[in-house]
Every structure is written in C-alpha cells, then in structure tokens.
Amino acid sequence: MVNLTIDDKQVTVPKDATIFDAAKAAGIRIPILCHDKKLHPFGGCRMCLVEVEQMKGRQIPACTTPVTEGMIVRTTTDEIIKARKMVLELLLLKHPIDCPVCDAAGDCDLQNLTYEYKVNANRFQDEKFQHKIDYENPLIERDMNRCIHCGKCARICDEIVSFGAYTFMNRGIEAKIGTEFDGPLNCEFCGSCVSVCPVGALVSRPFKFKARWWSLNKVKSVCSYCGTGCQLTLGVKDNKVLTTIYDENQGFHNGQLCTRGRFGYQFVNSDKRLSTPLIRKNGTLQPASWDEALTLVSAKLVEAKNAGGKSVAGLVTPRLTNEELFLIKKLFKDGLGSDSIDHSAGYAHAALTAGAAESFGSAASPSVISDIQNADLLLVVKTDAYETHPVVGFEINLGVKRKEIDLRIISDKRGKLSKLPKAVTYVHKPGQEVALVNALAQVLLADNLQDSTATGVEGFEGLKQQLEAFAPEKIAAACGLDADTIKTLARDYAKAAKALIILPLGLGYPGHGKALAQALANLALLSGKVGKEGCGVLFLGEKNNSQGAADLGIYPTAGGADADAILAGCQSGSIKTLIVAGENPVVSYPDRKRVEAALDKVEFLVVQDLFLTETAAKAHVVLPACSFAEKSGTFTSVGRAVQQVNQAIKPVGEARSDFAILNGLLAGLTGNAPYADAAAVFAEIAATVPAYAGLTIAGLGDTGAILPVTVKPRFVAAETAAVTAESGKFALVTGSALYHCGTMSRFGEGPMHVCPEGYVELGRDDAQALNVKDGDTVAVKSASGELRLKAKVGTRMPQGVVFAPYHFDEASVNSIAVGAPVTWVSISK
C-alpha cells in the first residue's frame, strides 16, 4: 500500500493505483473526459491535470500518473483551474454548439464541465469541422463534428469487445475517429461506444429525440435475455422504457452490455404486445375479460385436479422470476398433484439438472463468472460461447488480452474467440464433443497426471475402465483431430495451475446435455480443478433465469413427464390440459411438425405470453403477461448471483404479471390465501431451498448475493452417441446468432435491425463447389423437411459443415432438425 496526501487529505491506496484512483477513493472529484474504469489510462483530454509538490508544481495528468509514497497532490489550485478552462476552450473551438438539438444534452460531460467551469466565452477562433454525419446505421448515429478525440470508442471496441471498428485517422488538425476505409459503421452493434462517448458524437438512434436525459426516471434492474445476469438501468418516461442508461459502476461487467441488452429493450413497448385476454370462440381467438378467461382456466384445472392431476402438464420459460417459477411449481405440485412440468424442451437444462447434479451433487456450476479472469487456462467448448453470452465473451477477451490467459477452444467451427491473441481452436467433427473430452481425461490417466484426490472420488475405478476405450489413437479419426494434438491439449490443461472449463447451453445445442456435462466434470475432477479460484466448470444457462429454474426444480422430479413426454401425451390424448407459460415450442423446440401436431390435438391449451406467438395462436385461452420491466422479483444468473428485478413501468394494457396470474390460480385451487407480494414468496424460497437460506429480497440490495455451492464429487461415465455421416451430405449444426436469444429477441427492434431473418452459413470452399454466393437463397433439405434460406458465406465453417440459428419463425430450422446434435442435409440453389 502507498500513502499520499491529496488536498490535505491522507489517502492509502494499492501501489498500482493512479492519482485519479486515489482521489476517487478519498471522495475527491477530479474532472475527466477520456477515462473509464474498464479501460487502460489514456491521458488524452488533459482535464484531469493536477499539481504534485515533489515535481515542483508541474501539472500532470492524474489518470496516467501512478502514486508514490509521500506524494503531495493539489487538484484545485488557481493555475489548474485556468488550465482546465483553456482545455475546455480548445475542445469547444471545433465543437458545434448545437446542444438544443443534441441528443446527449443533459448527459454530456463536455456540456456539464463547460457549465461547471463557467466557460462562457472563447479566446480562440477557427472554423468548425464539416464531417459527413453517418445516418445509415439503424442503431448508432455518428457525428464526428462533435468528437473530442477522447478515444474511448476505439479503446473499448479494441480492449473489451475486441472488434476494432474504430481507429484514429489522419494527423494534427485533420485527425478524427474513423471506421474501415472511412465507410459506414459495420460492427457487432453492442453499443459500447455509445455508452462511453462523453459527448454527442455517438448516439443511440432508437432513443434519438425520444426524451431529454433529465426527464427520465432511472430504474435499476437485470437484463431479461441470456443468463449472464447483467445489471442495467432503464430510462423511463410516460410509462415507456425509452433507453438503457450506462453506469460504469453497475454490476461485475461495469455497465457493459451487448446488442440485446443495449438495443433489445423495445419489445417492452412493442405495438405487438398482447393487451387483453383472448378466448377461442367459433374457431377464432376473441377478446375477453380477465374474469371470463380465468373462470374458464380455473374450471379446467379443477377438472384436472379431480381426475388425479395426471392429465395436466406445463411447459415453462426460464425467463420468469424465481418467485413466479416457485408459484407455478407449487400450482402443479400442491394445487394439481402433477409433476409433469418442464422447461427448455427438457434437454437444454439437462447439463445442470442431470449432469452437474450427479457429478457435483448440485444442479449448479461450481464456478462463478469472476473465475474467468482468475484462470491461467480457459477451455471453452464451442466458440458459440461468445454468441450465446456476449458479456461473458467480453470477460474472456479481457482475460486473454490483458492477463495473457491461455485460451483453448474445442469446437465444430471457428468463431470470434478464435481470433483472440494466441488462442488455439481445435476444430473437431460435429457431434464428437463427448468422445473428445473423454479422450482428454484418458490422457490424464495414461500419463499419471490426475490429481492425488481423484482416486478417492466415488466412481474412479469405473471411470478408469470406461476411458480405456477412448485412447486418443482410438478416437482421433472419428473426432477429426490427430492423437498428438489431443494429448498436447490434455497435458496443457492438466499442468495449468488454474484452469476453467466453459460450456454454453441452450435449445440450439441438443448435444450439450447430461453426457457432455459429465465428461467435462470428470476431466475437472481428475485434474483436481474444482472448488478452487479460477477452476471448475461454468455452465452457461441460456435464459436469464435458467439457473433459477434448475434451483427451483422446474422439471419432473417425482416421476412426471418431461417436455418430450408431455408433447407425446398431448398427441396421444393422455395430456388433456397444457399450460404454456412464456415458452414458444412451435419455433424453439425441435421437430416443428411434431410440436404443432401435439398442440393442435391437446383438448385445452392455455398460453401466458407477452405476444401472440406461434404457440399462443394455437391456444384456447391466451393470458397477456408482463415483461421484466413491469414486475418485481429476482433472477439467478449462471454465476449463481441472485439479483433484484425492479418494476419500472405499469403493466401494458390489461396485462398481468405471471406472478399475479399464478398466485390467483393457486389460491383458487388450494383455498389458501394468496401471497402478499414477491417478497413473501422469496421468503418461502429461502425457507425451503437450501442454497437460498438466509436471503431476503431487501437484503439483496443493488449488488445481489452469490449462492453457496457444496461440491460432492462423483465420477460418472459419460456415454457417447454414434454420429454416422451420410455420404454426399452436409453436417448441419444449430445454435445462437450473436444478436438473438431464444425467440423473444425477434420483438426487439435493435436485434431485428441487424439480424432480421434466418440463414445458413457455409464455408467458402463449399460455397464455391455449390456455385453459391453470399446472399443467395438455397434449398436446405433433411429427412424431415426442406427450407429455403439465405446463404451466408464466410471462413469460419469447416468443409462439409453448415450452421443455422434457431430463433426465427419463417423458415424455422426446427422444420428440418429434430433434436439430434447433427442433422444431415443436402444444399442446392
């Protein structure tokens, strides 16, 4: 630690702190324009000039100057004030004074500092810049006439997003921030540049001219897309969510968001939102009152309860709050006597609820997100981890670029993570993940690299015997990697002091289930890399509350039907009443024809949703539900962080929260009084779910709480499924597009501006052989159907392998994919 004095105040800070850091720790404000806590110090704006007595009063930038023992610093001398005023005058020399029409007015650091330092005249004169304004981008407007050259946009895009869309161009007075060939912005559209821009050079187009910053009500909440658990602040006016507001001190991610979090909020205010209940009459859905709709639903549920509860089932989205999930579980268990409830098609949570539960003794990751940057080596399964959880991808970027973490990727394709410095991607044949991981574990045993604790773990001898069949020489050809490469990867993983495995999950990854989770758990346990900082396995649940759904048992736990059996029961007639809360199985579950046939045949289908989805359109009763912005409760992230969701606006139209709907139905079935609020339900969760013991909603505050996990290790043999190639056909793998999460993001204007439709991605060699060009429409045919999709030609797909995202209704990929890890298809123009 280092001791210094700032403005006569004694301060003690770590030795790697800067003067700016020390002043901030002491509560002393130093103005700054080019600094952000996530970025490397830059020292470009010179607003943070201070005087250091030991340097004979020389003015130096506080943000780049490290502290030294005994340093005496002055931050507000007359000379410093004069210097700062001159800096502002020079910045305003070329800056247009268009504050009345600038969207950043009220949130502009330059405007605020100009006011603070009373710069009401300028001693300097020059012509203003006349740069062409980029209006072409639907999400980010660029006006370089307002740019002050702080470089924050270029730095955040390079250091954290690792895309590099911006750079400084030209020199001297002609210098500016530009893009590739000075053309229109073409990037990932995460909006990170907009969030850190201190002026109005970069603004959000969806928010432009919607409201002034000072008129917004700011409400802290948690993103409702993927399971990362990013905190965000919603900007609200007139009962509408108009924007997200950047706060560098919010969450583990310091306010950093991806495209969905930054620009995908518009679904909350969408004109397509359901605003009243619907009941099917004479074959069509017609508006109805809540009393009429709930009376009909309650009558059917009572009928199902009286019949023993065997004929009723539920498919539930893990986007609901913990409190809502608890209520629906209680509705089925206590109210209906049914255990037939599931989520995420049954397989997308199996890595947690079956794999981790058996191998680690808990349906949760033994690791947390902070372990990423504390690791020495990261073993990522599929480059898709960046697409499924972009902010986790930012953490990987930071770890690799700043801390030189060794990044190894096993994947059926290349991707964004493959481009990071010194990253090694092992491209294997599709569907061979379990066999490959088993081979890695076998190398540890063959080379005697297992940890001393491994032999004492239950199941060790059985695993050792099973892995004999997975020697690298035996499976190398099937995996598409040579034996020496497999051995090198295994040895490097074993020798790393701290190594973390990352596995993305989701409806687009049917191969990422129980077997793969257990194979990875075996590898981690064999090497002794569990229960330590920077080690373990981090399972990336797909949705915002996938971990909460696993914690609360939203899957059959007492012999009930899983999602697959529920759909089979609907088709056979054994399931007569089906409640679908927020799920859209018609588009997101495999084998669309089967799903549609099952939903068409079920006697009574109730759907709770925000929109009249493809599934809701088949319902007998549709109940309009609330978005995350219209309710309060909690979500649990992939890193086991329980965080508060705060209501920002009133329900749209006559919509009711899932909490209100389920609370009323449960009270009607059981005869018990309804719960008073979400806090009362959370108290019961804390009393009945061990991991949540001792927690209260009020006690979570703004930061939340990390759930404890006790690992009870056990080796479980991971079974492999044979993948038989079909001659002359392509291996189709499905997954997530960067801009989408599930099917809900289709209703967010931001994601749809960038990625509005489905596509099939193939490599250049395959495209050339098929005479297919980027943007061509091609026919993709499997044994179960045929689609026409736009071709996306690039360099990341290996020969013979193609990829398609699963999010879209038109030409939905589940029309040709039935849930196998690999679907064999033919492609033609």
pLDDT tens digits for 261-299?
A: 999 999 999 999 999 999 999 999 999 999 999 999 999
Q: Where in the chain is the domain with CATH 3.30.70.20?
A: 127-267
CA 289 to chain centre: 36
The pLDDT of residue 35 is 94
CATH architecture of 127-267: 2-Layer Sandwich (3.30)
Under 8 Å between Cβ of 34 and 152: yes
Q: Which two tokens stand for residue 36?
A: 């952000």
Express the helix, strand and coil content of the chain in percent, nearest 5 each: 35, 20, 45
The pLDDT of residue 635 is 98
Q: Which two tokens stand for residue 241?
A: 């969510």
| Whole-number Cα distances in Å, 500 to 168, 496, 524 | 36, 10, 8
Mean pLDDT score, 415-424: 97
CA 413 to chain centre: 20
Condensed to tens digits (0 to 9), the pLDDT of residues 509-536 reads 999 999 999 999 999 999 999 999 999 9
- Determine phi and psi for 468, rounding to 5 degrees: -60, -25
| Whole-number Cα distances in Å, 793 to 187, 355, 418, 799, 807 | 17, 36, 18, 12, 19
The pLDDT of residue 710 is 94
Distance CA 541, CA 256 (A): 20
Angle between helices 678-688 and 322-330 (to 10 degrees): 70
Condensed to tens digits (0 to 9), the pLDDT of residues 355-405 reads 999 999 999 999 999 999 999 999 999 999 999 999 999 999 999 999 999
- Residue among 579, 580, 613, 573 nearest 597 (CA): 573
Q: Is the pLDDT confidence value at 177 over 80?
A: yes
- Residue among 56, 54, 51 nearest 74 (CA): 51
Cβ contacts of 651 within 8 Å, gap of 6 or more:
626, 630, 657
Q: Where in the chain is the domain with CATH 3.40.228.10?
A: 370-383+393-530
Mean pLDDT score, 241-260: 95
Query: What single letter denotes the amino acid at residue 104?
Result: A
Q: Which two tokens stand for residue 15?
A: 């030795």
The pLDDT of residue 125 is 87
CATH class given for the domain over 278-348+548-706: alpha beta
Instruction: Look up tokens 């006016």; give the residue.
Output: 237
Under 8 Å between Cβ of 472 and 483: yes
Cβ contacts of 723 within 8 Å, gap of 6 or more:
429, 430, 431, 432, 821, 822
Query: What single letter denotes the amino acid at residue 509?
Result: Y
If one looks up domain 730-828 in CATH, what number appears? 2.40.40.20
Q: Is the pLDDT confidence value at 617 over 90?
A: yes
Identify the band that residue 570 occupies on the pLDDT scale cut at 50, 70 and 90. Answer: very high
CA 390 to chain centre: 6
Reduced to 3 states (helix: H, G, I; strand: E, B; else coil), residue 763 is: strand
The pLDDT of residue 722 is 85
Please provide the average confidence, as pLDDT, over all residues in the chain: 96
Assigned fold of 2-76: Ubiquitin-like (UB roll) (3.10.20)
Q: Which residues of 213-242 are buried (b: 16+ CB within 10 A; e: fewer)?
A: beebeebbbbbbbbbbbbbbbbbbeeebbb
| Whole-number Cα distances in Å, 153 to 84, 150, 168, 233 | 23, 8, 10, 21
| Whole-number Cα distances in Å, 809 to 570, 589, 590, 744, 756 | 22, 12, 13, 11, 11
The pLDDT of residue 171 is 87
- Residue among 689, 681, 581 nearest 634 (CA): 681
The pLDDT of residue 696 is 95
Q: Which two tokens stand for residue 19?
A: 């003067």
Instruction: Look up tokens 């892995």; give the residue.
Output: 467
Q: Is the pLDDT confidence value at 741 over 90?
A: yes
Q: Is the pLDDT confidence value at 508 over 80?
A: yes
Kindly state the percentage of the chain with pLDDT values over 90: 95
- Residue among 467, 496, 268, 210 nearest 376 (CA): 496
Under 8 Å between Cβ of 277 and 623: yes
The pLDDT of residue 638 is 97
- Residue among 234, 224, 267, 268 nearest 637 (CA): 224
Determine how β-strand 406-411 pairs with β-strand 377-381.
Answer: parallel
Under 8 Å between Cβ of 176 and 144: yes
Mean pLDDT score, 736-765: 96
Under 8 Å between Cβ of 766 and 794: no
Distance CA 62, CA 28 (A): 12
The pLDDT of residue 81 is 96
Query: What single letter denotes the amino acid at residue 615?
Result: T
Assigned fold of 370-383+393-530: Dimethylsulfoxide Reductase; domain 2 (3.40.228)
> How buried is residue 116: exposed, middle or buried, by Cβ count under 10 Å (0-12/13-18/19+)?
exposed
Distance CA 739, CA 730 (A): 25
| Whole-number Cα distances in Å, 319 to 345, 507, 635 | 14, 14, 8
Residue 458 carries which DSSP code?
Answer: B
The pLDDT of residue 721 is 86
Q: Is the pLDDT confidence value at 57 over 80?
A: no
